[in-house]
Chains A and B, each alone.
Chain A
Amino acid sequence: MNGWIYAYYVLLVACFVISLFHLDVKEIRLLAILLGVSIITEVIVEIIGTQGFAFFIVYHFFVVLEYSLITIILRSGIRAPRWRLLMGISIIIFGLVSLFYSFVLGGWRVFPGINITIESFLVICWCLLSFFSITPDSEASIFRHPFFWLTLAFFIYFSASMSVNGFYNLLLESDAHKAPYFFAVLNSLSNYLLYIMLIKGILCFRSNKISL
Chain B
Amino acid sequence: MRVGFQAKAITVFPSFIFSALAMGIATALPMQAVAGLREPEPVADLTHLSIEELLDVEVYSASKFIQKASEAPSAVTIITAADIKAFGYRTLADILRSVRGMDVSYDRTYSYLGVRGSGRAGDYNSRVLLLLDGYRLNDPIYDQASIGTEGVVDVDLIERIEVVRGPGSSIYGSNAVLGVISIITKRGRDLDGLEVSGELASFDADKERLSYGKRYDNGAELLLSASRYRSRGQELFFPAYDAPATNNGIARNLDGDRYDSFFGKLAYAGFTLTGGYSSRDKAVPTAFYDTTFNDPNTEFSDGSAFVDLGYYGALGQRWDIAAHVFRGHYSFDGIYPYAAALNKDETRGAWWGTELKFVGRLEKHKVVMGAEYQDNFRQDQFNFDIAPYDLLLDDRRDSTRVGVYIQDEFSLSRNLLLNAGLRYDDYSTVGSTLNPRLGLIWNPLATTTFKLLYGTAFRAPNAYELYYASLTQKGNPSLKPEEIATWEFVVEHRLRPDFRLTADAYSNRISGNIGQIADPADGLLVFVNSGLVDAKGVEFEAERLWDGGARLRTSYAWQTSRERESGATLVNSPRHLAKLNFSAPVWGDRLRTGAELQYASSRRTLAGDNVGGRLLANLTLLSEKLAPGLTLSASVYNLFDKRHADPGGEEHVPIDAIQQDGRSYRLKLNYRF
Q: Are these two chains actual partners, yes or no?
A: no
